Amino acid sequence: MATTRTATTQWKGALLDGSGTVSLDTSGVGTFEVSWASRAEAANGKTSPEELIAAAHSSCFSMALSHGLAGAGTPPESLQTSADVTFQPGEGITGIVLTVKGHVPGITAEQFQEAAETAKANCPVSKALTGTTISLNAELL
């Protein structure tokens, strides 16, 4: 069964001096301030589209990797994934780096790397972001 998730942004003013809020409507877990300065300069307590993409990508990748490892008979005890999304004004998103550290009994570092590469290639958010370079650092703890 397909699911649809919704977020809504309210924006006021021009790009450079305006600001807005983005609400996570489906979950209702919060409304967050956004601005051009928080996107192109320092965050200053506000979020950005790139931070929201990073959250989506790190969680999707973790789910895909967990599923793949469990399917191979080696479920992870823990995975910690970060996604660094780089934004360059005038160019856009110039790259994403996924970094995962995992505690997975019963596999080698090479097997973990292979499972992580498969998850990177197949998680739905990675597939949606094919317009940018996605790099991966994987470490078995």
Mean pLDDT of the chain: 96
Q: Is 92 left (phi over 0), alpha (psi -120 to 50) or beta?
A: left
Q: Convert the pLDDT of each residue in 99-140 to its tens digit.
A: 999 999 999 999 999 999 999 999 999 999 999 999 999 999
Closest CA to 93 of 121, 63, 128: 128
Averaged pLDDT, 80-98: 96
Tokens representing 117? Answer: 């590469």
pTM over 0.75: yes
4 pLDDT band, cuts 50/70/90, is very high
How far from 87 is each of 56, 79, 140, CA to CA, in Å? 16, 26, 29
37 pLDDT band, cuts 50/70/90, is very high
Helix then strand count (H, E) for the chain reads 4, 6
